[in-house]
Amino acid sequence: MEPMTLHPPNETANADIDVVLVTGLSGAGRGTTAKVLEDLGWYVADNLPPELITRMVDLGLAAGSRITQLAVVMDVRSRGFTGDLESVRADLATRGISPRVLFLEASDESLVRRYENNRRSHPLQGGQTLAEGIAAERALLSSIRASADLVIDTSSLPVPALRAAIERAFSSESVAHISVTVESFGFKYGLPMDADMVVDVRFLPNPHWVDELRPHTGQHPSVSQYVLRQPGADEFLDTYHRLLNLVIDGYRREGKRYMTIAVGCTGGKHRSVAITEALAASLSPDEDLSVRVLHRDLGRE
């Protein structure tokens, strides 16, 4: 086990404390996430033993404490990991605290590539293959993933994009906001694994077949205008926006704080990009939403 590392707390005194438990697949970005949270002013504990987490929270609740935001990075190498995490959540509940669980994951292909690039073995690999170690960990953590408050798939996310996602989710002090990510993608590259809702905009004519538009993306004014002026485009955006308002109201009632809307076309270059930008723009005026745009497959073709 790596040595426990405690990063300095922020300077704000408060009797309340916000707790985030960071976990997920090995190699999916827990270390990067810890650094981003530290930059945001969170008190970050790496590999803190489960039995010490509640003690750390008690320190944060003590009068005069400067710990108002505590992030604990947990990994599968802790014995009885799944039970430990549930025990921590139960203990914190007795203190009136509902910790958020952030789960980081990536595709098998991405994890294998990262481990091979770093020439490291997987913590559950033992005498097995790397793929078997990854599969064992994925199975072990399946129940935790299912109950996590936020799941981030880092397969196609470079470090800056992961940082942006973490900042969007955890930089705001208000818990009333819902963080909405509107993400374009190409069906030819597969569905985004972390999408809550998927939209298929291949019913619109493809700018790829217009010679002067083909080289540009959906962010270019000429392509955007072409897509948005097609029959059905305005009606779709209006109808889907009204549908999202209903869903967002439901998310608020259920206490959900994160939503990822995936908008797909064939290659993720023209139609999905233009519709994603337009949809995000229609949601942005809502002050109770934090809207982020992500173009997953832009530049791949």
> Which of 100, 133, 128, 99 is CA-nearest to residue 27?
133
Burial class of residue 287 (count of CB atoms within 10 Å of its CB; 0-12, 13-18, 19+): exposed
Q: How far is CA 237 from CA 19, 86, 205, in A?
A: 37, 41, 16
- CB–CB of 283/178 below 8 Å? no
| Residue 72, φ and ψ in degrees, nearest 5 | -115, 125
Strand order in the sheet with 43-46: 5-6, 43-46, 69-73, 18-24, 100-105, 150-153
Token pair, residue 215, equals 């080289």
Residue 104, beta-bridge partner list: 24, 152
In angstroms, rounded to a whole number, what is the distance separating the alpha carbons of residues 292 and 277? 10
In angstroms, rounded to a whole number, what is the distance separating the alpha carbons of residues 180 and 258? 6
- Pairing of β 100-105 and β 150-153: parallel
Q: Which residues are annotated as a binding site for GTP?
A: 75-78
- CB–CB of 46/105 below 8 Å? no
Written as one letter, the residue type at 269 is K
In angstroms, rounded to a whole number, what is the distance separating the alpha carbons of residues 235 and 250? 23
Q: Which residues are annotated as a binding site for ATP?
A: 24-31
Q: Which residues are annotated as a binding site?
A: 24-31, 75-78
Q: Is 284 helix (H, G, I), strand (E, B) or coil?
A: coil
